[in-house]
């Protein structure tokens, strides 16, 4: 819904816009003090009211009484795929393409390593200087571990021109964590594919905040974290996406 904002903005206008907001009732689903305006969901989502009783049920009944039976009876064993399919609906992925597991850093390591090994004639992971620090540290480490591989970083304006026959993976963060700038995922992915490279998108600052459609963009790989806009809380596992077209080709290095 788009709302026309007049030149003069005052408290009365803000209160009217709040009252007309179709999502206003969602605030009651979260534990937030009255009068608090919480805008730091990029670092930690607000606690959903349903979370504490759900955790209490898990601890008291599924773990406390179900014990080892709960791996199957409570579907603990299937939860990485079951929850992954729920996240898939938020990021334009298909059932069976998203797995909830590990941390963003571990998932980046696994996907980058698998992609490089699947493209032995292409030794380079390409990224941009402005990328999130973690997304620079991990490919540096992967390139150092795998003999003959290299990590190349360039200015954002030079990304497309840097896509050559050496690039196995173009690894980018969908939304810039400092400026909010959004990459055109579909256009960038198409450019990478024309150059013969795979794409790996970090959705940590976009999943749950803006529209994401991995299938439409033709994305190959992606990672995301659970504790930001997906409200997973501290210590929440991350998620990874592998396109169905690549699942028989890639091998998990861990």
| Average of per-residue pLDDT values in the chain | 95
Listed as ranges, residues in the chain with pLDDT below 70 are 1-6
CATH of domain 79-246: 3.40.640.10
- pTM metric for this prediction: 0.92
CA distance 77 to 63: 13
Tell me the pLDDT tens digit for each residue of 226-236.
Answer: 999 998 888 89
Q: For residue 237, give the nearest of 111, 84, 39, 70 by alpha carbon.
A: 84
What tens digit of pLDDT does each residue of 123-158 get? 999 999 999 999 999 999 999 999 999 999 999 999
Residue carrying the six token digits 């938020």: 90
For the CA atoms of 13, 14, 18, 21, the dihedral, rounded to the nearest 10 degrees, stands at 70
Kindly list the domain boundaries of the chain, sorted by start residue: 1-77, 79-246
**What per-residue confidence (pLDDT) applies to 2?**
60
Distance, CA of 53 to CA of 35 (rounded, Å): 25
- pLDDT for 9: 87
pLDDT at 86: 97
**CB contact at 8 A, 175 and 182:** yes
pLDDT at 8: 81
Beta strands in 38-109 (DSSP E): 98-100
């Amino acid at each position: 819904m788009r709302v026309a904002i007049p030149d003069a903005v005052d408290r009365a206008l803000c209160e009217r816009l709040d009252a007309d907001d179709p999502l206003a009732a969602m605030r009651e689903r979260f534990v937030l003090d009255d009068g608090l305006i919480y805008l730091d969901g990029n670092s930690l989502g607000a606690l959903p009211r349903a979370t504490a009783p759900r955790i209490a049920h898990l601890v008291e009944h599924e773990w406390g009484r179900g014990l080892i039976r709960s791996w199957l009876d409570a579907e603990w064993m299937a939860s990485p795929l079951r929850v992954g399919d729920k996240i898939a609906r938020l990021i334009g992925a298909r059932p069976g393409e998203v797995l909830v597991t590990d941390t963003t850093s571990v998932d980046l390591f696994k996907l980058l390593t698998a992609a490089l090994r699947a493209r032995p004639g292409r030794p380079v992971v390409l990224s941009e200087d402005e990328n999130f620090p973690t997304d620079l540290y991990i490919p540096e480490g992967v390139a150092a571990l795998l003999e003959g591989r290299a990590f190349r970083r360039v200015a954002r304006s030079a990304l497309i021109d840097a896509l050559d026959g050496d690039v196995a993976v173009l690894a980018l963060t969908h939304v810039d964590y400092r400026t909010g700038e959004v990459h055109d995922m579909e256009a960038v992915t198409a450019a990478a594919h024309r150059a013969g490279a795979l794409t790996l998108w970090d959705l940590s600052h976009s999943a749950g905040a803006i529209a994401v459609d991995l299938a439409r963009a033709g994305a190959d790989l992606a990672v995301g974290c659970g504790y930001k806009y997906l409200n997973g809380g501290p210590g929440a596992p991350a998620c990874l996406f592998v396109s169905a077209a690549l699942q028989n080709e890639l091998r998990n290095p861990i």
